Amino acid sequence: MDARCTFSPHPGARYALTVCSGDPGAVKSRRREVAPVFVRCHALLRRAGGAGRVVKATGERWFLAHGVGLFDSAQGVRDW
In-domain check, residue 28: yes
In-domain check, residue 48: yes
| Of residues 15, 14, 16, 13, the one with CA closest to residue 80 | 16
Whole-prediction pTM: 0.73
Host domain of residue 16: 3-68
Q: Kindly report the number of other CB atoms within 10 A of residue 64's CB atom.
A: 19
For the stretch 50-55, contacts whose Cβ atoms lie closer than 8 Å and that sit 24 or more positions apart, written own/partner, are 52/18, 52/20, 52/24, 55/7
The residue type of 20 is C
Q: Each residue of 18-66: pLDDT tens digit?
A: 899 888 778 788 888 899 999 999 999 999 988 889 988 889 999 987 6
CB-based contact 32:71 (threshold 8 Å)? yes
In-domain check, residue 78: no
Number of domains in the chain: 1
